[in-house]
Structure 1
């Protein structure tokens, strides 16, 4: 039986990865702080990675596969030091945010990276991941896979970004929805279940190397059109220019008071990265409609009018719509 250690395993993505391994018949151990259940069929070992003895309970055995998703470089370095010699293969989940530039369409895994974060710069997500990658490559280069996902989407997404649109169209019904200028805008998403399946597959095969785990570039206009169809929205789309939105304190991409997935035009490279390696390795990219339908059911279950981590509150949106109409 394959022995798998997932560092985490109780969160959104790490939990899906643990489930995929368990479904494949592996013996899966999840090392996490506790407070949340590990997936069915796995074993939870409680350990706080901020503590020096965090890995003591899992260093007494050999592991066929270790999966780490942490964005805290010190956690990654400590895990490699404690477990590296006991792992036949290691998969580190990084991010496309490690790349230094976002203006080159079709860039692949060899594109220049950001400078690694310093010891006190863990809050810089992309640079922290660069430093964490360096720890993995430095100690386990010949036994490690580094996976760089783009925007991960699907049911249960804790960031509330992708689900904002299909959820908002469902909430609006026949009402107006505020959208950015969609000309020359796009996005590149990967379904959480496609990504977790890919991570399990390359771990099973002990593949080594670096792979961008991203979907095909898709016009944002097409994403919103499909989201409207799935949600049954019949109202109008009210378009605001970049300048107008910026003047009214509406943010790009994510977070409170934002229009999720909207990016500055000069960031074309961010949503057009190469996924050739991912496809060559057999990575799945399910139809976008399938992901939207599953996401919409999840949004309905969680509440279309709930407070969100990303997007506009409906009342704020309608106030902005009225201002656009009056301008």
Structure 2
């Protein structure tokens, strides 16, 4: 099958391209060219903001078009200008209006963004919702995938790799962590990519949630410690202590990833994935995903985009000791 991957140089896109190639498909990646394309693909450099973005691929008929965009105009142009027997939009669980519940596919989503391009991460849920609307409007089979937290090798956000890396590089006898009982689920990018490619082969249509098995941060901490053979112990701090000392939740600089304070966000990482599992989605053990994420962190060059730096963790201990 001829697969056109709109993207392919980022985290999930590279995994999709690799899986598709391994399964014998011909893969073309259309992207700006800011990253290295996977070996073996046909690479078309193009800026999707331009009106002629699809000129080099619009004259071909594709077995499946796989789109990872977060910009509504990109989605609208892709469905209008590209001929395909099957289409896949990789959306996000962020589209659900109620982020505090364990969402199922028929739950309400946020209103679509009414501008062409997302300008900030605050617009991300509405932007993905608009992309979904564009793809649902096209004739023919369309698969909309709503992943939860995507993890493993290549996780550019550093969310899934932070705790294994921190236990491997402790700044003291303990590693500061958030509430161990916080529910968490994550899906390995390789498992998600495999299911997306197989679904394209099958012409699957409809909306599907996709994440891993529900667990807690306690398991993440335990596995991280075991993977690294670390002698450091996990030192949980309360939400109040972390916020008082200026620690951010979930991701980004000076953060403790995978944690969000407040009961309304308690289940933000969880999804009902029964439909996808019935449709063949398989997820590997969390230990394997965290090991892959650690391997990527050990290869990373430059600053880590999430978590606490050594200096920040040391300062956090002092802040807590001072009653901050």
Query: Contact 1:94 / 1:149 at 8 angstroms: preserved in 2?
Result: yes
The runs of 5 or more residues in structure 1 that have no matched partner are none
1:238 aligns with 2:235: yes
1:111 aligns with 2:107: yes
- Once the two structures are superposed, residues 105-148 of structure 1 have per-residue CA deviations (whole angstroms, 9 ceiling, x without a partner) of 3x3101110111121672310110000000000114x4100000
Q: Distance in 1 between matches of 2:8 and 2:315?
A: 41
1:314 aligns with 2:313: no
Tell me which residue corresponds to 2:39: 40
Tell me which residue corresponds to 1:272: 270
Tell me which residue corresponds to 1:208: 205
Report the Cα offset of residue 73 of structure 1: 0.8
Q: Distance in 2 between matches of 1:245 and 1:110?
A: 36
Query: Contact 2:179 / 2:217 at 8 angstroms: preserved in 1?
Result: no
Distance 1:249 1:121, change over 3 A: farther
List aligned pairs for 1:64-79, cutoff 5 A: 64-79=63-78
Query: Contact 2:97 / 2:110 at 8 angstroms: preserved in 1?
Result: yes
Query: Contact 1:230 / 1:296 at 8 angstroms: preserved in 2?
Result: no
The runs of 5 or more residues in structure 2 that have no matched partner are none
Tell me which residue corresponds to 1:56: 55
SS of the residue 1:290 aligns to: helix
Give the alignment's Cα RMSD to 1 decimal: 1.5
Report the Cα offset of residue 174 of structure 1: 5.9
- Once the two structures are superposed, residues 210-269 of structure 1 have per-residue CA deviations (whole angstroms, 9 ceiling, x without a partner) of 100111111111111111111222123222211121121111101111100011233233
Q: What's the TM-score, normalizing by structure 2?
A: 0.94
Tell me which residue corresponds to 1:97: 94
Q: Distance in 2 between matches of 1:177 and 1:114?
A: 37
- Once the two structures are superposed, residues 143-176 of structure 1 have per-residue CA deviations (whole angstroms, 9 ceiling, x without a partner) of 1000000000001111111101100110117632
Query: Contact 1:148 / 1:211 at 8 angstroms: preserved in 2?
Result: yes
Q: Distance in 1 between matches of 2:311 and 2:266?
A: 31
Query: Contact 1:174 / 1:233 at 8 angstroms: preserved in 2?
Result: no
Distance 1:39 1:120, change over 3 A: closer
List aligned pairs for 1:1-327, cutoff 5 A: 2-83=1-82, 86-105=83-102, 107-119=103-115, 122=118, 123=120, 124-140=123-139, 142-172=140-170, 175-183=173-181, 185-264=182-261, 265-302=263-300, 306-327=302-323
Q: Distance in 2 between matches of 1:278 and 1:103?
A: 21
More displaced, 287-296 or 45-54? 287-296
Query: Contact 1:231 / 1:296 at 8 angstroms: preserved in 2?
Result: no
SS of the residue 2:158 aligns to: coil
Q: Distance in 1 between matches of 2:111 and 2:85?
A: 29
Q: Distance in 1 between matches of 2:267 and 2:159?
A: 19
SS of the residue 2:16 aligns to: helix
Q: Distance in 1 between matches of 2:45 and 2:100?
A: 43
SS of the residue 1:172 aligns to: coil
Query: Contact 1:186 / 1:221 at 8 angstroms: preserved in 2?
Result: no
Q: What's the TM-score, normalizing by structure 1?
A: 0.94
More displaced, 259-268 or 159-168? 259-268
Q: Which runs of 4+ in 1 moved over 4 A?
A: none
Report the Cα offset of residue 207 of structure 1: 0.4
SS of the residue 1:309 aligns to: coil
